[in-house]
Structure 1
Amino acid sequence: MKIVITAGGTSEKIDDVRTITNSSTGRLGYAVGTAFLQQYADELEAVYYLHGTRARHPEHEKVIPVEIGGVADLQRELGRILAEEKIDAVVHAMAVSDYTVKEVTTLEKLRGEDPEDGGADPSGNKISSDIEDLIIHMKRSPKVIGNIKKWSPDSLLVGFKLLSGVPHEELIAVGTRLMEKNDCDFVLANDLQEIGADFHKGYLIHKDGSCDTMETNEEIADRIAQRVMTACRERSK
């Protein structure tokens, strides 16, 4: 079996030294990868591990790490792997940026004003730190999860949905909509308010509407690995 795991967060460049990113550490994706390797390494041929620049990858001979910068990197590398390899399952745990940088300007330029001294230049490889009012114009990123089954219809897909401070019923409903929209086989729904240093409550939603409830990162990782491997074995019969 060959599987893909995405983990960590994407980072969108403002200039050559500055980025916009999110708070994802990749800890859950790392736990999922570790669970697969500890329990099912004999059944795995390769684990393609696509990870953000701040996220580490499991150290194992079957892991093929691919470092990801922004959403464009993720689209390119994930699309390439799914086109070139027969992938049995994709566990898409990466926190993908919802927006990318379209352009950078200043408040003066936005207002059509022309400072007498010309003003600091917002273009170039490194934006000047003399600019008082920097404006970053962002645009919506493509939804990578929506392409996975288009690129590889036979791959089992696990999606992830993180919300913050919502009622349990809403969390499950949003996770279910993500599943239906993107043809996921499972979705891990979790709420930021139920995540701490030593606990992480997660709900693994199945296509039939049933749900597994876990209390820690390790329990979530073990359950995802177990469900994915069981489903892949059944498909191969």
Structure 2
Amino acid sequence: MVRNILITAGGTSEKIDEVRVISNFSSGRLGLTVANSFLESNKIQIGKIYYLCDRNTIVPEDSRVEVVRVAGVSGLLDELTRLLTTEKIDAVIHAMAVSDYMVKQVTTVGAIRSGQEAAPLFSGGEGKISSQIEDLAILLTRTPKVIGEIKKLDRNTILVGFKLLSNVEKPVLIDTALKLLHQNQCDMVLANDLSDITEDQHVGYLLKPDGNYDCYSTKKQIAQAIVEEVGTLLAEKEAEQ
């Protein structure tokens, strides 16, 4: 059976103005490796991979890949909603490092101190803020939790989540990832710690709902394991029908 996979990859960029953004250091290489592993798989016949990413993220080059560039968390949610409600998506690999905050408004420290922050210097991301301002202040607000919307949009799709922490003990990492899994109805979650990621190494723990997990040490191993597990779940679902 031909399968359609949706992959989110890289980081998100939240606009400050027309030339400035708040972003993160995610390169999107793990998402790219996962996409290529799906394309190379002998277990899953790929019809299309919808690849959602920021404009600066590296992307796979294959005729079966449809690259969908998104602008910020709101743009990501819009495209996820569109695809999950109009297309048959067999699995979502949510590898994107989604920003926890977006710009609410831009003002100055002086305006805040004087109680005038309700009258923003700048909002909406239109135009360019002057570089002559000495006490620029950016007010942030929380972004929606994207992973929590995926199963609401399509309860039948397989969902692979990702949890990245930094310099924590392994039990904390595993426990945090397991909570993410259960809270968002994920079928599996890849837990990893920034301190265990280098140019040649990427330690990751692929967790199942029962708390069991396998450990991998490179992006390639992680990607192949995800493809293998997704293929197994798809085969089980097909057998039940």
Give the TM interval when normalised to the shorter protein. Answer: over 0.9
Question: In the aligned structure 1, how far is the partner of 2:58 from the partner of 2:10?
Answer: 8
Cross-structure match for 1:46: 48
User: For the residues of structure 1 that align with 2:187 and 2:54, how far apart are their CA atoms?
Assistant: 24
Distance, in Å, in 2 between the alignment partners of 1:185 and 1:79 is: 19
* 1:142-200 deviation digits (Å, cap 9, x = unpaired): 00100000000000000000000000001000000000100000000000010111011
- Report what 1:31 is aligned to: 33
Aligned partner of 1:129 among 124, 128, 131: 131
TM-aligned CA deviation for residue 110 of structure 1: 1.2
In the TM superposition, what is the alpha-carbon distance from 1:208 to its structure 2 partner?
A: 1.7
5+ residue gaps in structure 1?
115-120
2: distance between equivalents of 1:97 and 1:180?
21
Aligned to 2:23: 21
How far apart, CA to CA, are the structure 2 residues paired with 1:173 and 1:53?
Answer: 33
Which residue pairs with 1:94 in the alignment?
96
What CA distance in whole angstroms lies between the structure 2 residues aligned with 1:62 and 1:211? 31
Identify the residue that residue 118 of structure 1 maps to in structure 2. none
> Does the CA contact (< 8 Å) of 2:43 and 2:228 recur in 1?
no
TM-score by length of 2: 0.93
What residue number does 2:108 align with?
106
Question: d(CA) in 2 for partners of 1:164 and 1:40?
Answer: 35
Superposed, which structure 2 residues align to 1:1-237 within 5 Å? 1-40=3-42, 43-112=45-114, 122=122, 125-237=127-239
SS for the counterpart of 1:97 is: coil
Cα offset for 1:112? 2.1
Aligned residue for 1:64, secondary structure, equals: strand
3-state SS in 2 of match to 1:16? coil
RMSD: 1.5
Contact 2:9/2:95 (CA < 8 Å) preserved in 1? Answer: yes
Amino acid at match of 1:100: M
The size of the alignment, in residue pairs, is 231
Could you say what secondary structure the match of 1:161 adopts?
strand
8 Å CA contact 1:10–1:22 kept in 2: the answer is yes
- Taking the aligned partners of 2:10 and 2:144, their CA distance within structure 1 comes to 18
| Structure 2, unpaired ranges of 5+ | none
SS of 2:234's partner is helix
- Give the aligned residue type for 2:220: E
Q: CA deviation at 1:42?
A: 6.4
Query: Does the residue aligned with 1:96 lie in a helix, a strand or coil?
Result: coil
Q: Given the superposition, is the C-alpha separation of residues 59 and 41 from structure 1 closer, same or farther in structure 2, using an over 3 Å criterion?
A: farther
1:86 aligned partner, one-letter code: K
- TM-score, normalising length: structure 1: 0.94
Amino acid at match of 2:56: R
Matched letter for residue 214 of structure 1: Y
| TM-aligned CA distance change 1:45 to 1:183, over 3 Å | same
SS at match of 1:15: coil
Percent of counterpart pairs with the same letter?
49
The secondary structure found in structure 2 opposite 1:47 is: strand
- Using a 3 Å threshold, how does the CA distance of structure 1 residues 68 and 40 change in structure 2: closer, same or farther? farther
Secondary structure of the structure 1 residue equivalent to 2:83: helix
User: Structure 2 vs 1, CA of residues 168 and 74 (structure 1 numbering), >3 Å: closer, same or farther?
Assistant: same
